[in-house]
Every structure is written in C-alpha cells, then in structure tokens.
Amino acid sequence: MGKRDKRIDSYITKSKPFAQPILIKLRELIHKAIPEVEETVKWGMPFFDYKGPVCNIAAFKEHAVMAFWKADLLKDTKGYLQKRANQGGEAMGNFGRLTNVKDLPPDKVILDFLKQAKKLNDDGIKLPPRKKQPVELVIPDYITKSLKKNKKAKEVFENFSNSHKKEYVEWITEAKTEATREKRIATMLEWLEEGKSRNWKYMNK
C-alpha cells in the first residue's frame, strides 16, 4: 500500500473551503488508481510519486489544480487535458481552474489518466528533453550606430557568433561612466577592424 503524508492532511485542512472537497476527491482517486503511490510535498504542494513523479495537486486563493508530470505523453482523445500556464494554458494544472468538484472530468477519465501515468513510469518512459529557446541578444542603439560608421568593424561583428557579440555588448554596457563607455566602443571598433573578439588576448594562438 502507498504511504500517506500527514503534511498533505494539513495542507488540505488549511486550504480554502471551496478547495477542500476538490483536493480530497483527487487524492482518493489517485490512491484508487495507484494503490502503491507515495505522497510527499515538493515546492509547498502535495505530490504523488510512483517510480518517479506522477502528479500533483494544489489550491490557491480562488482555484485548485491538478497537474500530471508527463501530461504530454498521456492519450487524451476527448481533450480533457490542457497545457500548463507556461505553455499558454488557462492554469498551471491540466484540468484548468477548478473552483468546484463539478469542474472535474468524470472519475473514470481521471482514473484512466492516472493508470496511463503509472504505466509510463512502470515502463521507464521519460519525457523528451525540452529544446532551449535561443535568447535574443539585445544590442543598444549607441553600439549599433557606432558600428554603422565603421563598415569593416560592422562586417566582422555581424559575422561573429552570438557569444562573441555578447562579450562586446556586456563589456560596453557594464561601463560605469559615459567616458569609459565611449573609450570601450572605440577599442571595440579598433579590435573589430583587426578581426579580434573581445577576449582575443586570452585565446589560444
């Protein structure tokens, strides 16, 4: 049998009255679908583990949520699952904002998702690694204008990798005074004309 955590009892008791029946119902469904599930608390929220994370529940001021750790891998033919908040969804949970037990999908649907999640962990199936989105390098106007005045330097700068560009931009923007900034811009243009990166002195010859 799975282990119950008294911290989750306390969490539910301290939650808003509207959220308590939602959390209680979800907790019982989780234990029904996965009798071996173990309860814990992570990031201040109730989590349920079985050979790895399965799901979590949480209550906020005006709504409660349930989120599956491997939601993207669950089969959802009727569209009950939603994407999380950081992916453009309605709430951080996969069932959206829950304000009443009636907001939940039917029990059999939740149980099916939980059993799918259990099988994924039984089979050792992991989420695919997330692709990191490249961070756009913001170049201040005063640097851009200076480069436009020097064709050779501009050409070398534009052909540099993003990391080399960033080294120059950070060096100049970190200048404490305008005089220092102007001096560094002049040095940058000089070095760029020679095809040098910001840290050319430290590069292996």
The pTM of this model reads: 0.62
Answer with the residue of higher pLDDT: 204 or 4: 4
- Return the pLDDT at 85: 39
For residues 16-45, average pLDDT: 96
Model pLDDT for residues 113-153, shown as the tens digit of each residue: 999 999 999 999 988 776 666 667 889 999 999 999 999 99
CB 40 within 8 A of CB 55: no
Q: At what angle are helices 178-193 and 162-173 packed, to 10 degrees?
A: 150
CATH topology assigned to domain 6-122 = Aspartate Aminotransferase, domain 1 (3.90.1150)
Model pLDDT for residues 145-192, shown as the tens digit of each residue: 999 999 999 999 999 988 899 999 999 999 999 999 999 999 999 999
Rg over CA atoms, the chain = 27
Which own/partner pairs from 134-139 qualify as long-range (CB within 8 Å, at least 24 positions apart)? Answer: 134/162, 137/162, 137/165, 137/166, 137/169, 138/169, 139/165, 139/169
In the chain, residues under CATH classification 3.90.1150.200 are 6-122
Answer with the residue of higher pLDDT: 14 or 201: 14
Pick from 196, 198, 137, 145: nearest CA to 172? 198
- Return the pLDDT at 127: 82
